[in-house]
């Protein structure tokens, strides 16, 4: 009962705080005033999200984000069907507090098949953190503010009508374009160039 | 029988014209991304289908509405819907978390989409059978 009440309270706080552009620093890369924003709604336990991160987001960061064309925001959208996804998101968000978000996030994806099978996320995260950082991260896992941030991302996803992961919401000149699933980088690149040329 | 045939023809015509309209009003490359997410076709084929399919749907919808060449138009409609249904069923069975792409971007592929497409396919096949039967009766 207490847990249900806490979840409801978190969801209420999150919904009230929903803002499409806001994101914890570190979960977003690039120039916030770039002409285009892409929000990636992702679940650490979803194989498609790992494929998107490896095959699409990596070159996208080099070709667009680093050149100031795109502001890329990671949004957590752990699905109910994935029992460890929320905990993985909590580890990544906690790592943000010790400035190791990128490393931890990448490691969680890299070892997805391992922890998805055994649930041993702590061992995966321990591989890329110093002992003092790991201690801080562990302590943050139950932090209500951190959990509220994940709920805020989920609420934002629901507002965008996200039903599946990965889903990218491309925003350009006030218009939003949802792109679901793992897509070919070549075609995505053509689409982005076409929008940016307008 | 004639009323049912008319109703099926008009419903399918409306669905096809609407499907074409929703695709044509958005950037065609966004539709290309929807097609690509099914992970079936090479890039050149994805781009070709994305360019041509909405216009094909529009023509089919208008022909269905007019009733011109109904036997062949209904058969083509059935064929297209059978292909769509098969492709969607495959994607759903594989657990691809993708958009249907049926009426523009932003509609997730779920069991409800499959039911809707299955009903449309059954309707198109029924219309084809009725159209061919009525031709036999009149000749």
A101 within some domain: yes
Cβ of residue A185 closer than 8 Å to a chain B Cβ: no
Q: Which DSSP symbol is given to B126?
A: H
A152 within some domain: yes
Range of the domain at A110: 23-196
pLDDT-derived band of residue A25, with 50, 70 and 90 as boundaries?
low
A12 within some domain: no
A170 within some domain: yes
Range of the domain at B23: 2-138
- Smallest CA–CA distance, residue B130 to chain A, in Å, is 39
What sections of chain A are H helices per DSSP?
Answer: 2-17, 47-52, 58-60, 85-96, 101-110, 112-118, 121-126, 131-140, 144-159, 185-196
CA dihedral A170, A176, A177, A182 (to 10 degrees): 40
What CATH number does the domain containing A189 carry?
A: 3.40.30.10
Q: What is the pLDDT of residues A86-109, one digit of tens each?
A: 999 999 999 999 999 999 999 999
Report whether pLDDT(A155) > 50. Answer: yes
Mean pLDDT of A52-75: 96
| ipTM of model | 0.87
Report the residue of B23, B33, B44 to disrupt the A interface, i.e. the one with the largest count of A CBs within 10 Å: B33
pLDDT-derived band of residue A16, with 50, 70 and 90 as boundaries?
very low
pLDDT at A24: 60
A105 within some domain: yes
Chain B positions with Cβ closer than 8 Å to A = 26-27, 29-30, 32-34, 36-37, 39, 43, 46-47, 96-99, 105-106, 108-110
pLDDT-derived band of residue A23, with 50, 70 and 90 as boundaries?
low
Judging contacts by C-beta atoms under 8 Å, the chain A residues touching residue B99 are 164, 178, 180-181
With CB atoms and an 8 Å threshold, state whether A184 touches B36: yes
A8 within some domain: no
- Number of structural domains (chain B) is 1
- Number of structural domains (chain A) is 1
- The burial class, CB within 10 Å (0-12 / 13-18 / 19+), for B3 is exposed
């Amino acid at each position: 009962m207490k847990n249900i009440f806490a979840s409801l309270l978190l969801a209420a706080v999150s919904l009230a705080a929903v803002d499409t552009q806001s994101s914890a620093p570190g979960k977003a890369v690039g120039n916030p005033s770039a002409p285009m924003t892409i929000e990636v709604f992702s679940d650490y336990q979803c194989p498609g999200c790992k494929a998107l991160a490896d095959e699409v987001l990596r070159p996208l960061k080099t070709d667009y984000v680093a050149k100031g064309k795109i502001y890329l925001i990671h949004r957590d959208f752990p699905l109910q069907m994935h029992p460890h996804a929320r905990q993985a998101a909590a580890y990544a968000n906690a790592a943000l507090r010790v400035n190791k978000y990128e490393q931890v996030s990448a490691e969680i994806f890299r070892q997805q098949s391992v922890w998805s099978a055994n649930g041993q996320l702590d061992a995966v995260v321990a591989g890329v953190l110093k002992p003092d950082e790991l201690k801080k991260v562990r302590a943050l896992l139950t932090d209500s503010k951190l959990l509220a941030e994940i709920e805020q991302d989920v609420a934002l996803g629901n507002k965008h009508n996200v039903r599946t992961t990965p889903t990218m919401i491309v925003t350009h000149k006030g218009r939003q374009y949802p792109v679901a699933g793992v897509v070919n980088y070549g075609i995505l690149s053509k689409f982005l160039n076409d929008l940016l040329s307008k | 029988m004639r009323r049912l045939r008319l109703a099926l023809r008009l419903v399918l015509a409306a669905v096809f014209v609407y499907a074409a309209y929703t695709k044509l009003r958005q950037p065609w490359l966004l539709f290309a991304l929807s097609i690509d997410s099914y992970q079936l076709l090479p890039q050149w084929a994805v781009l070709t289908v994305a360019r041509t399919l909405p216009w094909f749907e529009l023509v089919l919808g208008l022909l269905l509405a007019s009733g011109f060449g109904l036997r062949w138009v209904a058969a083509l409609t059935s064929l297209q819907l059978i292909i769509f249904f098969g492709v969607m069923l495959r994607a759903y069975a594989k657990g691809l978390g993708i958009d249907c792409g049926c009426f523009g971007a932003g509609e997730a592929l779920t069991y409800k989409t499959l039911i809707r497409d299955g009903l449309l396919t059954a309707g198109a096949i029924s219309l084809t059978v009725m159209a061919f039967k009525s031709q036999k009766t009149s000749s």
